[in-house]
Amino acid sequence: MSDSFSRLNIDDRLLTNLEDLGFKRMTPIQKEALPIVVEGRDVIAQAKTGSGKTVAFGLGILNIIDVKQTRAQSLILCPTRELAEQVAKELRMLARKIPNIKILTITGGKSEYQQERSLSHGAHIVVGTPGRMIKLLKRKILNLEHVKSYVLDEADRMLDMGFIDDISRISTYVPKERQTLLFSATFPEDIEKLCERLQRDALRVSVDVNHEGSIIKEVFVELSSHKDKMQTLLNVLAHYQAKRFIVFCKTKRISDSVADDLYKKGIIVSSIHGDLEQNERTSVLTMFSNKSLLGIVATDVAARGIDIKDLDLVVNFDLPNDPEVYVHRIGRTGRAGSEGNAVSFLVEQEKENFQKILDYQKSAHQLETSEFFEDGEYKIEPEMATFYIRGGKKDKLRPGDIVGAIVGEAGIDFKEIGDISITNIMSYVAVSANQIDHVVSCLNKGKIKNRKFKIGKL
């Protein structure tokens, strides 16, 4: 079977845009799922992270949108605000050549009033998180009676986060005659039950569940005690000298403790978990994305929605109980054919989880001892540092305004300016780490767009 997008029965504008974007061949999940999605069938799809699943459902959705009817024709539910924004961004990219198509993001952490205003102007595709969706549905601000396609993205994590009742409630607002697409990295029993309730004669697609051994090098280290994990982590970081890494822990408390210990050693990281306020979470993810943080220490749920393409290393400080979760974790490294490394610690109590992973992967892994990684020093420092501006889209700030002010006030080369992220009321800017103090000082004395803004380092 051909893996060319041209064999799909979709709008020529979508095909032309894919060609312009350099999408030459379908990924395995796209090759298996897209023809079924385009046919209008219900689909249950399982694939590892980074496999291209947004395109797998996005092209099918865009293909049936009637732009002349400015009403919600597709609903996409995601577990986190970050993932919802990421999905919406990718859909907008895929829809570039279809004029006037409106894709709206509805999530917590943003102005409900602004979202209400946006909905009053109409939207063809609504992407969001269950909690905020429920609020707007109860207030009859959001109307889903014309939805033709209903997507649950990363369904397993939505259930982990306690959204099962919200999903059930939202589903009652969507027409019974619809296409339902469910995408999940893992398939525990409660996902199977959800599929039975929401879908009709769904076809199951499962590809890329395991990772190529030549791409991700896996090492398992048996330790005599949990107390040995921290020193072994320091040795692992020294061994790989990874520029970007994620450490996975089983609890919020352990995540905070590990991040604090690393920071005390001069390794610039931050923890991320469900107890963080939305603005704190946004700050951490922005800094990690723009290379101001070397790593993050995360729980599984908190790490969803993070899409870092050049991740060198994943460390499982604690082994997960579910082998599918393990595969999903390590799949964050070794993307797009690049080589990645995954190191996992286990103590005697975690050997059962190790055996589950071996059985699931149908492969053998040797257990190493702590001596596998010699004592050493981690010498990497962040390339960039981030500062905030207390102003954003509401103040009509644009990236060009910020770049102009930095170059004009601080006199640095624009090449030393990194990513700029602008939200409604805040902006986050990355600059070369050795320039951060100079830039913040100059901007606090100067102006942006002839206005004074509060500016500080993160």
Q: How does pLDDT run along the chain (458 residues), one tens digit per residue?
A: 568 888 888 999 999 999 988 888 888 888 889 999 999 999 999 876 667 889 999 999 999 999 999 899 999 999 888 888 889 999 999 999 999 999 999 998 788 888 888 888 889 999 999 999 999 999 999 999 999 999 999 888 888 778 888 999 999 999 999 999 999 877 777 888 888 889 888 898 887 555 544 488 899 999 999 999 999 999 999 999 999 999 999 999 999 999 999 999 999 999 988 777 777 888 888 899 899 999 999 987 666 656 666 788 999 999 998 887 888 788 888 765 567 899 999 999 999 999 999 988 888 888 999 899 988 899 999 999 999 999 998 899 999 999 999 999 999 988 899 999 888 889 999 999 999 999 999 999 999 999 999 999 98
- Residue closest to 123 by CA, chosen among 161, 81, 67: 67
pTM of the model: 0.66
For 220, phi and psi rounded to 5 degrees?
Answer: -115, 130
Query: Do the Cβ atoms of 303 and 154 come closer than 8 Å?
Result: no
Residue ranges and CATH numbers for the domains of the chain are: 5-206 (3.40.50.300), 216-372 (3.40.50.300), 384-457 (3.30.70.330)
Identity of residue 90 = E
Residue owning tokens 């952490």: 109
The C-alpha atoms of residue 302 and residue 432 are separated, in whole angstroms, by: 28
CA angle 224, 225, 230 (to 5 degrees): 115
Report the Cα 411 to chain-centroid distance in Å: 35
278 SS3 class: helix
The C-alpha atoms of residue 382 and residue 314 are separated, in whole angstroms, by: 18
Residue owning tokens 């603005």: 279
- Residue closest to 318 by CA, chosen among 241, 209, 233, 242: 233
